[in-house]
Amino acid sequence: MKKEDIWKIYDHGYANDYNERYLCNPFSEASTNTELNVLKTLINPSTKWLDLGCGTGYFLSQFHGVQRGGLDASPEMIKLARNANPDALFFKEGDFRKDNQEWHGAWTLVTCMWGAYCYVDSVKEVEHVIQNMILWTQTGGAIFLPIVDIEDLRPSIRIPYEETNIVFGGKTAVTSITWTWREENGKLHEQLVSPSVEHIVNLLKPFFDKIEVVRYPPYMADWLSRKGVLATGRRDIKNEDHPANIIWQDVPEAANQTPAFRIAMSTVSNKQMIKELFFRVRSGAIFKSFARKVYRRILRK
């Protein structure tokens, strides 16, 4: 997307509502807490942290005293980030697709939180962003990249990343999908790019000793479990012959064990719950969950 399109979406009002709407609401809180817990394992007094697409600076603001800086395309987001992080090294308005020679090997931790990378124009540009993240991470450092892929957008669909082409031979890889979100307020997030998590892992694995695909606790049982890619042990040089040790975490228990209707009454608006229920009925997820419960009950008899 062009920077002017980003400015239209992330204007003053949208930026001021962002934390409450996307990071601190009941649905998102479990994901936000998971990401903060991952960051806590990576951050210490000697950390130098660069957050790309830093937005309001919410995550950075949870670690006062740490050397940290942020880059974002929205001037309104940058204003909020500066206010929330008065002790930060800097906040810059800019494009994370462009290399910055001064940042080569300068950071012990590089992050890109909450799908900011989706706002580029192609898979190749996402690859440029990830390449920059690698270049800007110092030896021994880490990258943390929360993921938005097809499973997040359509939980009932699982597309294999790579399969043998039985007609013409060779391998076919589904490297990415694109998607558009038109909000009720008229904001248009158009043709966003979401590479598969496997593709992102493949881009990172020659450069790191270890890669974990972190699974987040679902908001409730049988709901979506988000993912993040954590790459640690940045190598001096690329080594394709000995790729990173890759660990796929299991999906943890749901954040809420309370029945859905009770959560809806206490923390979620009726409008939110109706929308989620409609989506789950349409996708078939609710029927699959019911079938599993019936099957378990039969086994216990």
Go through the domains of the chain in sequence order and give each one's CATH number. Answer: 3-257 (3.40.50.150), 261-301 (no CATH)
Could you give phi then psi for residue 131, rounded to 5 degrees? Answer: -60, -40
Radius of gyration of the chain (CA): 20
**Per-residue pLDDT tens digits for 61-77:** 999 999 999 999 999 99
CA distance 226 to 86: 31
Could you give phi then psi for residue 31, rounded to 5 degrees? Answer: -70, -45
What residue type is 36 in one-letter code? L
Cα angle for residues 35, 138, 123 (degrees, 5° grid) = 65
Q: What is the DSSP string of 91-102?
A: EEE--TTS--GG
Indicate the pairing of strand 208-215 with strand 245-248.
parallel
CA distance 202 to 186: 36
The CB density around residue 116, as the number of other CB atoms within 10 Å, is: 24
From first to last of its 301 residues, what are the pLDDT tens digits of the chain?
Answer: 788 999 999 999 999 999 999 999 888 999 999 999 999 999 999 999 999 999 999 999 999 999 999 999 999 999 999 999 999 999 999 999 999 999 999 999 999 998 999 999 999 999 999 999 999 999 999 999 999 999 999 988 888 999 998 888 999 999 999 999 999 999 999 999 999 999 999 999 999 999 999 999 999 988 889 999 999 999 999 999 999 999 999 999 998 876 554 444 445 555 555 555 555 555 565 555 555 555 555 545 5
What residue type is 266 in one-letter code? S
Indicate the pairing of strand 48-52 with strand 107-112.
parallel
